[in-house]
Amino acid sequence: MSDTAVRLERFAPMHGWANRILRVDLSNRSIWAEPVEAYVPDYIGARGIAARIAWDDLAEPVDAFAPENPLIVVAGALTGTRSPYSGRAAVAAFSPQAYPYNWFTRANIGAQYGAELKRAGYDGLVITGASDTPVQIIIRDDEVRIAPADHLWGLDVFETIEAVQKEQGRDVRLLTIGPAGERLSRIATIATATSSAAGQGGFGAVMGSKKLKVVSVQGSGEITAAKPDEFRSLIQVTNEQLRANRGIMGNITRLNAHLQEEKGGRVRPYACTASCPTPCNLYYTDMPGVAYPDRIYEGHMACVGGCFRGFTDEPLSHGGLYDWKLGVYGGFEMNVLSNRYGLNQWDIVISMVPWLERAQWDGLISELNGVCMNWQNPSFWAQFLHSMAYREGMGDALAEGGLRAASALGIGEDLVRRHYTGWGFGGHWDGHGCWLNHLVFPYWIVSALQWSTDTRDPYSSSHGYVQNIMRWSPFGGPKERDVTWEHIRGISERVYGSREALDPLSGYVEKAWPAAYHDRRSVMKDTVPTDDQVFPLIYSVTTEDRFFRAGDVEGPSIDYHLFRLGTGTDWCEEEFDRAADRIYTLERALCVRHWGRDRAMDESVLPSYEYEENWANPLIGEKQSLDRQQFLPVMDDYYRRLGWDPETGWPTRARMAELGIEDLYEPMVAGAQSARERRPEWPEPIAIKA
């Protein structure tokens, strides 16, 4: 197959945005570009632009593996600048992982890819169609090529990166898939660098279905700011405060000393995305293997990857799980292997393996492909991961993700629901299904609201409430921070307008507004973008009242000011808030249009909260479970605050008019009626075995 190459035109320059969307159809090998100005500033960037493209292009849903499924990758409005943590890009499509319907949803990807895409002059790319043979897309500023990739097909993620860099240069940035994506695993990731990935959603399988192995990019341009001096000044003062609140250098020193005492290896801080002022990930080198002792590994470990090593039950219980004792070397090896294969670590570590362990305890399973299941044995783990990546034996079912595998294998369907909170995604900051994130009542009430209305695990970008309260309050914050409950109540009143919103004894009172507030903030973090673990900037150790400020700008307003100074958009802060609300409402309208989604669907998540929580609030002393009688009025309030009808769960015409998208209301309603006629029946609920 010969190359298809096109040189694309540029459109009028803008501050922040590159003002160009790359379109590629792999079926007919066509390549073209469109200006982004039709989408901005109203949809800000990244997640917002992706949702609007999906609305404009797809009146009806398509199968996740259909050629028509658009793989959309869009950088943020400020990606490519020095705005803190602005390197992330959104990845969106109809999801192979989503269950019971493969609705349109999104993930995020970090490292340097988004920034390089912007430097090449593109805000994003939309890939449709499918090739008959393996291909790669090569982007070099204005020149875009579709080229053969037969020689790359079959390589794992790291091997692909090395091969492409050898062919195209060390500075090339790329998105790629491993064996899991090639084999259409529903938990396959899209990877860039050694651990940055669009993890949730199964989007690696979307690339695999298109026979698309790599999308590489190199750019030579730059992204300008509208008010560079003010922009630079705000970035500087914000970064100073961020560094004062975060730091891991002492831990690095101790860890390196420990490694030298053991088997060797070294570790250093690693920024998981461009323009990060506070690197918090770890990059390991010269790490000897355990399952494969003849191998030496390197790479970075992020997020859930560190959980492969296993935990003890101190200071918190893990429900008997994570007792794997793989240690730093075995844990790192499994982290690298899963990244090489392109497998979703969250699904595996947080949900799939806990389900298999519980099934093993109950005598429902004891072997994997004839090998005794031993979770404390690195060699077993290595075989387990390999079988999934290559769909070998039982691994063929596991490649569908734990939730579907339980059904396909007929093993512990009541047990697996304990670990998958909703929509096909494993537990995350829910206080019930996930044993990794310490969360107690009443804070998981906000989690239940957000889980109920999203299309995926919401905590890729909604950590702001549940994570912050558990990590900054006396429940979990380091003593040196000296944050008291009186500080917390004062911050609650300032941010949420109510002291009860963060009060540990407040029960169901004042939980609707924090949920809606952080839905909006999640959109901001995914479109500007900023870092989800850090923003919105609410807490600080450098102020007497523990509320974040950067100079004379209050923390929660910094996102807006960065956007205003970077793009030159002449909005007041309320208009910026409204844009985020517009995007969140559009995403809901898209789901209503495609699937007739309603409140009854939303409430299907609630059984995941109706058994006892994992940990008790120490000020209450007894474990709590969700009480529908008290919760449903909170859900009513939540819908009203979002501008959705409490009975249907649909955005109201009045709300859509307020947000400037009233013209979408009638297509939404018409689509919902059509969806009800064609969609499969909603599955009967299966009781959860707690």
Return the pLDDT at 192: 95
- In this predicted structure, the answer to whether residue 248 has a pLDDT above a threshold of 70 is no
Residues 6+ apart with CB under 8 A from 140: 120, 217, 218, 219
Better-predicted residue by pLDDT, 302 or 625: 625
| Residues 388-426: tens digit of each pLDDT | 999 999 999 999 999 999 999 999 999 999 999 999 999
How many other CB atoms are there within 10 angstroms of residue 40's CB atom? 23
Tokens of 319: 């429900």
Read off the pLDDT of residues 256-274 as tens digits, 9 standing for 90 and up: 999 999 999 999 988 889 9
520-546 per-position pLDDT tens digit = 999 999 999 999 989 999 999 999 999
Q: CATH number of the domain at 427-678, out of 3.50.50.60, 1.10.599.10, 2.30.30.30, 3.90.1300.10?
A: 1.10.599.10
In this prediction, residues 56-73 reach a mean pLDDT of 98
For residue 477, name the pLDDT band (cuts at 50, 70, 90).
confident
| Confidence bin at 126 (pLDDT 50/70/90) | very high
Within 8 A by CB and 6+ apart from 579, the residues are 41, 42, 43, 44, 48, 571
Which CATH number does the domain 4-218 belong to among 3.40.1190.10, 3.40.50.720, 1.20.120.1200, 3.60.9.10? 3.60.9.10
Residue type, 208: G
Contact 438, 316 (CB under 8 A): yes
Contacts of 260 (CB under 8 A, 6+ apart): none
Residue 104, token pair as written in the block: 């349109």
Per-residue pLDDT band at 685 (split at 50, 70, 90) = confident
> What's the pTM?
0.97
pLDDT for position 272: 86
Predicted confidence (pLDDT) per residue in 155-210, tens digit: 999 999 999 999 999 999 999 999 999 999 999 999 998 889 999 999 999 999 99
What's the length of the chain?
690
- Mean of all residue pLDDT scores within the chain: 95
**Domain-wise residue ranges, the chain:** 4-218, 230-415, 427-678
**The predicted structure's pLDDT at residue 247:** 58
17: left (phi over 0), alpha (psi -120 to 50) or beta: beta
Q: pLDDT band at 249, cuts 50/70/90?
A: low
Strands 135-140 and 549-550, sheet pairing: unpaired
Q: Taking the domain 230-415, which CATH number applies?
A: 1.10.569.10
Question: What integer is the mean pLDDT of 55-76?
Answer: 98
* pLDDT of res. 314: 79
Q: How far apart are CA 26 and CA 59, in angstroms?
A: 21
**Per-residue confidence at 250, pLDDT binned at 50, 70, 90?**
low
Angle of helix 512-527 relative to helix 558-567, nearest 10 degrees, comes to 30
Average pLDDT over residues 365-384: 97
* Percent with pLDDT over 90 in the chain: 90
How would you class 482 by CB atoms within 10 Å of its CB: exposed for 0-12, middle for 13-18, buried for 19 or more?
exposed
* Partners of 414 in the β-ladder: none
Report the C-alpha gap between 688 and 49 in whole angstroms: 38
pLDDT in tens, 571-605: 999 999 999 999 999 999 999 999 999 999 999 99
Judged against a pLDDT cut of 90, whether residue 679 lies above it is answered with: no
Going by pLDDT thresholds of 50, 70 and 90, the confidence category of residue 303 is: confident
Nearest to 173 by CA among 124, 127, 138: 138
Q: Which residues contact 206 (CB under 8 A, 6 or more apart)?
A: 64, 65, 69, 71, 93, 94, 96
Rounded to whole angstroms, how far apart are CA atoms 344 and 335? 10
Amino acid 571: pLDDT: 98
